[in-house]
Chain A
Amino acid sequence: MKYQYAIIAFATAFLLQSTVLNIFSIFGYTPNLLLCLVILISFLYEHNYKGITLGVIFGLLSDLCFGQYVGIAAIGYLLVGMGVLFTKEILNRENFGAVIIVTGFSTIVYNLIYWTISRLLGSPYTFVYMIKGQPFWIAFNMLVISIAYFTLIGKVTKHRRDRYYR
């Protein structure tokens, strides 16, 4: 993925996250679009640090705008992105199931990192509060990743039903 496309994708995700996305929230939970982009770009593209680099930058911006402390989301995206880069060495990235598993684990890891650092810095959010939201966050992120995955696959292989691809 070219840098300019990646930047546009991250900027759009950043703006949507804080404005329009809240319309579609269920019990106050919404997908984490920036995390989805970090996972998707790191997992699907060859030798790609763009997802992590932009994840860190937009994570810092997101913390500056909404967070109590600057850097928590950035650390989360950095560690999750690195984890995904290592994971794609052992998993088949063309397998949709692998993408879904990576998304689920990454979401849990990201939220654990976010909660742990927030807690260490004196945040009152309990472990139960963090755990309660996991099913929603995982389901939402899986949904977003699935849509993005099939959109990208559709662009790469125009005629997937063709016998050549079977």
Chain B
Amino acid sequence: MKMFSRKAIVALALLVAGAAPALAAASEADFKAAYAAADAANKQAGTLRDQWTVTASALAAAKKAADAGNFDSAVAEAKEAEALAKASVFQATSEKDAWKAEIIR
């Protein structure tokens, strides 16, 4: 019984330790990492000449939230920007050939 309790406590402690980062508020470092990933994807879209205005808006919103110290919102906006940028990269890549199907012949 005594042994079981100790094991249970250790297991609970591990569980709490694992869940803690998910529950904790986002930090400036989280924002910086999320923003850098979004910015890199958007730059890739730029080299493909296919950036989206909504990506730029999400990046700007992320920065604004971070400046105000709201890192939860800043990370969420940065992740949204990254998803949009990746979608624009996908679009540009698939259009490399897809545009030919639309030509009037």
Q: Are the chains A and B members of one assembly?
A: no
Interface residues of B (CB under 8 A from A): none
A residues touching B (Cβ–Cβ < 8 Å)? none
